[in-house]
């Protein structure tokens, strides 16, 4: 379980890049390997020039739930402060929404997943 004011975020894409981390969070992060079961990776065009400038990529990975236990996304768990989580929301924009998920390790973490549109601040309740 994360400490108070600490948020676990499962990342599988550009938030794993140390340069993106420094630009978004102000520091590079060490992550812990983990797996998200029942999801698959797809790719989307990035409409926001600011996100393209930070990542250097016009196409970003995005995960979609499949419900199939054979589908797995490999990534890392990052530990973020509340302020860093807000910065992650700002970076991810409306292409993603933030949702709480159970990881293969048994931990619960936030993850940015596909959304047709909407608010990133999805309730974990």
Q: So what's the pLDDT on residue 107? A: 97
From CA 28, how far away is CA 36, in angstroms rounded? 23
Q: Is 1 a domain residue?
A: no
> What pLDDT shows up at residue 12?
93
For residue 121, tell me if it sits in a domain: no
Answer yes or no: is 20 within a domain: yes
The answer to the question of residue 123 being in a domain is no
Q: CA 60 to CA 43: how far, in whole Å?
A: 6
Quote the tokens at residue 54. 């930070």
CATH number at residue 45: 3.10.490.10
Round to whole Å and give the CA distance between 66 and 69: 8
Residue 120, domain member (yes or no) = no
Does residue 23 or residue 119 have the better pLDDT?
23
Q: Is the pLDDT of residue 51 over 70?
A: no
31 occurs within a structural domain? yes
pLDDT of residue 96: 82
pLDDT tens-place string over residues 64-116: 899 999 999 999 999 999 999 999 998 887 678 899 999 999 999 999 988 65
45 pLDDT band (50/70/90 cuts)? confident
Residue 52 lies in domain: 6-113
Q: What is the pLDDT of residue 62?
A: 86
pLDDT at 87: 94
φ, ψ (nearest 5 deg) of residue 69: -65, -15
119 occurs within a structural domain: no
Q: What is the mean pLDDT of the chain?
A: 84
Distances (CA, A) of 7 to 16, 36, 53, 83, 93: 16, 17, 26, 10, 18
- Evaluate if residue 47 carries a pLDDT over 80: no
Residue 25 belongs to some domain of the structure? yes
Report the C-alpha dihedral over residues 36, 41, 47, 52, rounded to 10 degrees: 80
Number of domains in the chain: 1
């Amino acid at each position: 379980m994360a400490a108070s004011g600490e948020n676990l975020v499962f990342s599988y894409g550009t938030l794993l890049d140390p340069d993106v981390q420094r630009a978004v969070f102000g520091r590079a992060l060490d992550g812990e390997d983990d797996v998200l079961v029942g999801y698959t990776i797809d790719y989307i065009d990035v409409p926001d020039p600011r996100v393209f400038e930070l990542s250097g990529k016009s196409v970003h990975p995005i995960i979609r739930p499949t419900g199939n236990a054979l589908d797995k996304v490999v990534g890392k768990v990052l530990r973020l402060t509340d302020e860093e989580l807000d910065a992650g929301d700002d970076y991810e924009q409306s292409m993603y929404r933030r949702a709480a998920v159970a990881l293969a390790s048994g931990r619960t973490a936030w993850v940015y997943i596909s959304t047709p549109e909407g608010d990133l601040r999805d309730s974990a309740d």
